Chains A and B, each alone.
Chain A
Amino acid sequence: MSDPNLEGEDFRKARRARNIAIALGLAVFVILVYAVTIVNLGSDVIHRPL
C-alpha cells in the first residue's frame, strides 16, 4: 500500500487514521448484523431447538 521511500510522520498518521476508520466500519457492520438478527428472529434466538 505505502511506498517505503515516502514513509514519514504524515504517512504514519494517515495510515493510523485509515486503520481506525476500518476498525470503526467493521465494528458498525458487526453491530448491524447483530441488530438485524435480533429484530428478524426475536425471542426465537433463545427458544430454538438444540
Chain B
Amino acid sequence: MAMATAPTSVRAPARWQDFLQLLKPRVMSLVVFTALTGLVCAPEHLNPVLGAVAILCIAVGAGASGALNMWYDADIDAAMRRTRGRPVPAGRVQGADALALGIVLSLLSVMLMGVGVNWFAAGLLAFTILFYAVVYTMWLKRWTAQNIVIGGLAGALPPVIGWAAATGTAPLNAWLLCAIIFMWTPPHFWALSLYTSDDYAKAGVPMMPVVKGARSTRAQILIYSLLLIPVCVAPAFTGLGGVAYLAVSGLGGLVFLLLAWRLFRSHAGEAADPRNDDGLYDVRAGARDARNLFAFSILYLALMFATLLGEHLAGLKPLELFR
C-alpha cells in the first residue's frame, strides 16, 4: 500500500498554503496555458464567462489529480530529495486530507464543467483526472519504464478539453495539439531523468535510465525527437498555424534535433547510472547536454503554444497549405 511508509502524524499546523501546494500550482499554470490555447484556437467562440469557468474547471481538475497523486505517492515522495518537502511526506498534511481534497475538487470541477459548459468537455476532464490519478499514478509509474510515455496523455489532453469546451467537439486539429505535448513529453522527462535517476532508483521508480541505462535512454530521446518535429510542424499544414507558427516550430525543431543529437553523442546520465556510486544530482561532463535539451524543450513548447495563441488572438490567417 502506498501510504504504508508515509508519516501519519501531523508535526506542524497545516496551513492553507499546504493545501494549495497539494494542487501543484506550477503544473496548473502549464495546464491553463495549453487549455487556453485549445479554447482560443477553436473555430467557435465561447462566452467569456463560460470560457473562464471552463479554464478554471480544467485548472482545478488538474490540481485535484495532483492532490490524489500526492496522497498515493507519499512513500515515493518521502524517498526522493526533490519531493520530500511536499506537505504529505513532510507531515504537514495527513494523507486522508489530501485524498479528500482531491476527490471533492475532482467532483466539483467535472460537475461545474458539465452543468455550465458541456458534458463532452466534462467527460474528457473526468477521463484526464482518472487517467492521471489511477492509470499513471497507481499503475504505470511503479510498473513500467514506459510510465511517462503512456502517462503523458494526461498532460497532453488539456488543449483538447479547452477545444471541446468551446465547440462540443474534438476534431483533428485539437488532437494535433494533444499529439504535440504527448510526443514532447518523453524527450523532456528523460532528459531530466538522465541527471536525477539516482533519486528515482532509490525510490524504486522504474524510470528509463534506471531500467535501460543512460545509453538506451539517449537513443530513445533522439528517436522521439525525430518523431516529434513533424508533429510540431503539422498544424501549419492543417489550417491551425500561420507563417509565424511554421517558422517557430520549424526552426525550433531544428535546434531541438541538434540538442538531441548532441545528447545522444554525449555520456550524459552515466554518472547517475545506479551501478555507479556517485552522489545524487552529480553532473559529469555530458550531463550539460541533457540539461540543455531539458531547458530548450520547455522553451520550444511554450513558444509554439504562445505563437498559436498570439496568431489566433490577433486574427492572423492560418496557412491552410493542404486545405
Contacts and interface: CB of A to CB of B under 8 A. Distances in A.
Given A3-B10, A6-B10, A40-B116, A21 B16 contact: yes
B13 A39 contact: no
Given A32-B56, A32-B112, A39 B49 contact: yes
Q: How large is the interface on B (under 10, 10 to 19, 20 to 34, 35 or more residues)?
A: 10 to 19
Interface string A13-36: 111011011000000010011011
B53 interface: yes
B254 to A, nearest CB: 44
A33 B109 CA distance: 11
Contacts of B14: 14, 18
B16 A39 contact: no
Which DSSP category, helix, strand, loop or mixed, fits chain A's interface?
helix
B323 interface: no
A11 to B, nearest CB: 4
A10 interface: yes
Interface string B46-67: 0101100100100000000000
Nearest to B49: A39
A20 to B, nearest CB: 8
Contacts of B116: 32-33, 36, 40
B316 interface: no
B15 A17 contact: yes
B13 A35 contact: no
A2 B9 CA distance: 10
Contacts of B172: none
A34 to B, nearest CB: 11
Contact of A15 (B13, B56, B108, B115): B13
Contacts of B115: 33, 36
B53 A18 contact: no
Given A14-B14, A33-B115, 17 more contacts: A1-B97, A3-B10, A6-B13, A17-B15, A18-B15, A29-B108, A29-B112, A32-B53, A33-B112, A33-B116, A35-B49, A35-B53, A36-B50, A36-B116, A39-B47, A39-B49, A39-B50
Interface of A: 1-3, 6, 10-11, 13-15, 17-18, 20-21, 29, 32-33, 35-36, 39-40
Interface of B: 9-10, 12-16, 19, 47, 49-50, 53, 56, 97, 108, 112, 115-116
